[in-house]
Structure 1
Amino acid sequence: MRVLQINTRYYNGGSTGRIAYDLKQVMETHGIESYVAFGFGYESKETEKTTVYRIESDSELFISKLWTKATGHHGFNNKRETQRLLKWIDGVKPDIIHMHNIHNHYVNVRMLLGYIAERNIPCVLTMHDCWTFTGHCAYFDYSGCDKWRTGCSHCPSLRAYPKTFTPIDPSQWNYKHKMCLFAPLNITFVSPSQWLCNLQRQSFLKEKTCVVINNGIDMSVFHPTESNVRQLYGIGNRKMILAVAAGLSIRKGRDYLLKLPNILNNDEVLVLVGLGKGQADLLPKTNKVIGIQRTKTADELVGLYSAADVFINPTLEDNFPTVNLEALACGTPVVTFNTGGSGECVDVATGIVTPKGDINALLNDIRTVLVRGKNYYQGACVKKATERYNKDIQYRKYIELYRKILNR
């Protein structure tokens, strides 16, 4: 079996790049010929030259970014780059094409999906967000828009990811073209969460099969570990509440993360990891918050997860956040808003799912976990991560899916 993955990134540059990399490794251990074509952000090693293909150069990336932001037609540029890609695919001759994120200005979706349809190549698309069945946005929770159900127009989210500055609303055009492009495909959709699979079944893609395969994590990396985090950052014996900054974006819970330190007790501290340059200046001027820049190694991040008493994720738009899984694997309970699929990995033994947008409920649930103590949750957290979210288990499900599709 020969499988080609296509994604924005590979290895680095966010969770989907890592997923594509990990899935390639798992496939190869099972004797599957595995190829990856990715947009940008990584230079293939010499040993990967025949199996890992970068779609666009840095200069092409710069131009396509400008064009896409100017027009709002994500996925409908990059003709020259896509012609080269299709020629490379001709040489690979994949049995299955597995797509991940196909927006973000690196491939021409019309050309790619047309190529797949013309050759009737079985394909899989993992929906890491909602873009596949909307006219523009990757998520619509924050805006409260449900036009994707019947037909997009007058989009309220043009300035949200994937951002565009066009004065002409492209959402209706994008929506209609996606409907036409996906219709003829022999395609199976995969969602990391049940939440997104349920939405797909209410969209114009409802006639297409959708299955749930959760994201997986590397349990050899993420596990309870002794560290000097508390001494290093002056946390001492205070209750450590860990959160990931996620660019301090509004949709990832910025407002709640900035308000929380002001209502914490003296024996509680919020540790915010992943701050970008200058973002520490935005934090409240109090000793109840500690800002940490992006970690340089996975070991640093594991040390933070392991030292924390609770991990919080006040996200307002999300699918199936990998950070929740990483915290569980390190034995740390999770408190998250009931947003998208974020709460699907959390049960009463591993944390609390909080009403979305309610900071008082968030604080109360944090304190419920802190009163019970980490030892109350730790064993169940590690057990759940090991049994349910081990990447080797999850990514073998993709291999089973490929075989099932080819045997139809």
Structure 2
Amino acid sequence: MSEGWESYIAFPARVPIVASKSMLIKIGSKADQYFHALMTRVFDCCGFLSKHATKRLIQKIKNINPNVIQLHNLHGYYLNIPILFDYLKQSGIPVVWTLHDCWAFTGHCVHYTCVKCNRWKTGCYACPRKNSYPNSFVFDRSRQNYAMKKKTYADIPNMTIVPVSFWLGDVTRQSMLGTYPICVIQNGIDVHTFRPRTEAVRRIRAQYGLDNKYVILGVATGWSEEVGLSTFFRLRNKLSSDFAIVMVGCTSDIIKQLPNGIIGIARTNNVDELASIYSAADILFNGSYQETFGLVTAEALSCGTPAIVYNATACAEIVTKETGYVAEAKDEMQVLKFILYDSELSCEERNRRSLICRKYAIEHFDKEKKYNEYIDLYKQILDTYQ
């Protein structure tokens, strides 16, 4: 909008409306989306229902007649992708599709690395992640879904794919979408919000009893084995009382399971408080081994906190030798070694590295710079196709 363009955002009806300067378009109804989700639980058909909702959305798009259509996640039980893409083929309007996960080119799942499945390259079947989101507890339609997606995506005249990481870009080039132009634009963060909160460090450490401790931080929107839940437990057993582990994003059930020496904090929507927690930690450990970007790692770096990540999927591309450590996937002993090494660094070394982390995040993950990359892409596409 700062470029003088009008902006319309279409979103599922079940998502709460928030203040926006864009013109908002609600897609379908809550009842339709609940039905779509229920049918998916039985028939594994995410993305292939909601016909009427999609047709009504298309009519609104026709009325707007946009210069560019920007797609994000199309899963979530609110769209019919064959109907949507049939319209995109006919309209000829340039399409930019940002991929935040792998669902677009698999027969079912949003991530496949935890089961080391590569069927998405040639054709999905007998999905080993059928019970994962978008969950299907009865039928497995991964073969049919894959074939339908491949047919649906064929011959879109003006479509550019934008993966949010270089890892996802490499994967996409090997997928059914690999014939389209691919332009990687990494996710961005608000570097003004996620900044070192030195004034809050003393308060946070006192609040959670962290004084004189080396603090290892973990942050997740939902804790599970896929993001390293039990790894934090085992690390706790190997560390002395001079170390403390803080896990943000815990449910009440998870908090009840935490052993002594691990502090659980419920998920917070207060980003200022989250930035303060990042700032109070000595190091972030991102124990996930299937990330299509890794926002929490970028947020920590922006707050001046170095990170330990696994050399798996997109995690390793965010951290450099100057801003943290990269351990081999699931190598907990190497993670432990990095923690112990880092804890021995002098205050001067830590302060110097904190400045490097902050500078690196500003240079590489500032969302304003990412917005400009999208604007440049839109202009390039419009110059080419109009």
Q: Same fold (TM over 0.5)?
A: yes
Q: Which amino acid is the alignment partner of residue 239 of structure 1?
A: Y
2:230: which partner in 1? 255
1:37: which partner in 2? 10
State the shift of 1:241 in Å: 0.6
Mapped partners of 1:161, 1:263: distance in 2? 34
Q: What does residue range 260-339 of structure 1 map to in structure 2 within 5 Å?
A: 260-284=235-259, 286=260, 288-339=261-312
- Are 1:232 and 2:207 matched, yes or no? yes
State the shift of 1:41 in Å: 4.5
1:135: which partner in 2? 107
Mapped partners of 1:281, 1:187: distance in 2? 48
1:384: which partner in 2? 360
1:67: which partner in 2? 39
State the shift of 1:272 in Å: 0.3
State the shift of 1:195 in Å: 0.8
1:6: which partner in 2? none
Q: Which amino acid is the alignment partner of residue 209 of structure 1?
A: P
Deviations 1:129-153 (A, max 9, x none): 1111111111111011111111111
- Uncovered stretches (5+) of structure 2, i.e. residues with no partner: none
Q: Which amino acid is the alignment partner of residue 227 of structure 2?
A: K
2:169: which partner in 1? 197
Q: Secondary structure of 1:53's partner?
A: strand
Mapped partners of 1:42, 1:354: distance in 2? 38
Mapped partners of 1:46, 1:358: distance in 2? 44
TM-score, length basis structure 1: 0.89
2:155: which partner in 1? 184
- Are 1:407 and 2:386 matched, yes or no? no
State the shift of 1:57 in Å: 2.7
Q: Which amino acid is the alignment partner of residue 361 of structure 1?
A: Q
State the shift of 1:71 in Å: 1.2
State the shift of 1:188 in Å: 0.7
State the shift of 1:297 in Å: 0.8
Identity within the alignment, %: 37
Q: Which amino acid is the alignment partner of residue 170 of structure 1?
A: R
1:7: which partner in 2? none
Q: Which amino acid is the alignment partner of residue 379 of structure 2?
A: R
- Uncovered stretches (5+) of structure 1, i.e. residues with no partner: 1-27
- Aligned in 2, Cα 1:46/1:242: closer, same or farther, shift over 3 Å? closer
- Are 1:169 and 2:140 matched, yes or no? yes
Moved more, 138-147 or 241-250: 241-250
Mapped partners of 2:226, 2:28: distance in 1? 29
Moved more, 200-209 or 349-358: 200-209
Deviations 1:279-306 (A, max 9, x none): 211222x1x1100111241111011000
State the shift of 1:45 in Å: 5.5
Question: Which among 115, 118, 132 is matched to residue 146 of structure 1?
Answer: 118
1:108: which partner in 2? 80
Mapped partners of 2:366, 2:213: distance in 1? 31
Q: Is the 8 A contact 1:245 1:254 kept in 2?
A: no
State the shift of 1:40 in Å: 4.1
Mapped partners of 2:109, 2:299: distance in 1? 27
Q: What does residue range 1-40 of structure 1 map to in structure 2 within 5 Å?
A: 28-40=1-13
1:347: which partner in 2? 320
